[in-house]
């Protein structure tokens, strides 16, 4: 019998007890450590993460990328964040994933929408729109473009 709780053959009482104990230990640690650390004149908050994604990285903007219903937004300024991009993308529909990265000397955003109709609306209504005082270009992903590195995770 292995010690991996994710293995279907090991879901027994001992595995469940270990998982519950780890949860209690984590909660106790958060209570004990919260507000005890000083960083540059401010108290640090210690709390549980708000979600997991592949590799344990925190989830930033919903589910991870699927490669479906994707657009690229070119011409972003260097200060545009994935949060700014998601707010901008909401003008055309329901974005489920956003990220920004540097590609070919400029900053580019990637947005995945919930459905195909939102992609068409984004290309129609956001192409040429202004984001942070810059006119951006919206291009539908047709499967031929590779993404850049992650712009802060999730990509």
Is 74 a member of any domain?
yes
What's the confidence (pLDDT) of residue 12? 60
CATH code, 90 = 3.30.70.330
The answer to whether the CB of 110 falls within 8 A of the CB of 70 is: yes
Q: What is the mean pLDDT of the chain?
A: 74
Split at pLDDT 50, 70, 90, the class of 142 is: confident
Is 81 a member of any domain?
yes
Average pLDDT rounded to a whole number, residues 107-134 = 95
What's the confidence (pLDDT) of residue 97? 93
User: In whole angstroms, what is the distance from residue 89 CA to residue 86 CA?
Assistant: 5
Domain total of the chain: 1
Is 62 a member of any domain?
no
Is 63 a member of any domain?
no
Whether the pLDDT of residue 123 is over 90: the answer is yes
pLDDT in tens, 4-50: 455 444 446 666 666 666 666 666 666 666 666 666 667 666 665 55
Question: Which has more pLDDT, 119 or 67?
Answer: 119
The answer to whether the CB of 64 falls within 8 A of the CB of 53 is: yes
User: In whole angstroms, what is the distance from residue 148 CA to residue 141 CA?
Assistant: 14
Is 106 a member of any domain?
yes
Entry pTM: 0.54
3-state secondary structure labels for all residues of 49-106: CCCCCHHHCCCCCCCCCCCCCEEEEEEECCCCCHHHHHHHHCCCCCEEEEEEEEECCE
User: In whole angstroms, what is the distance from residue 99 CA to residue 57 CA?
Assistant: 14
> Domain span at residue 128?
70-141
Is 60 a member of any domain?
no
């Amino acid at each position: 019998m292995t010690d991996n709780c994710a293995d279907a053959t090991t879901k027994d009482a001992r595995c469940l007890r270990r998982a519950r104990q780890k949860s209690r230990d984590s909660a106790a640690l958060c209570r004990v450590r919260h507000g005890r650390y000083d960083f540059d004149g401010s108290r640090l908050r210690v709390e549980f993460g708000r979600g997991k994604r592949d590799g344990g990285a925190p989830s930033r903007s919903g589910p991870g990328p699927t490669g479906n219903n994707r657009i690229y937004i070119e011409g972003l300024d260097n200060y545009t964040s994935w949060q700014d991009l998601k707010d901008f993308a909401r003008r055309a529909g329901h974005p489920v994933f956003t990220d920004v990265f540097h590609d070919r000397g400029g900053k580019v955003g990637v947005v995945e929408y919930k459905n195909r109709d939102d992609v068409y609306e984004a290309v129609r209504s956001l192409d040429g729109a202004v984001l942070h005082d810059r006119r951006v270009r919206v291009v539908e992903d047709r499967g031929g473009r590779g993404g850049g590195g992650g712009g802060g995770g999730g990509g």
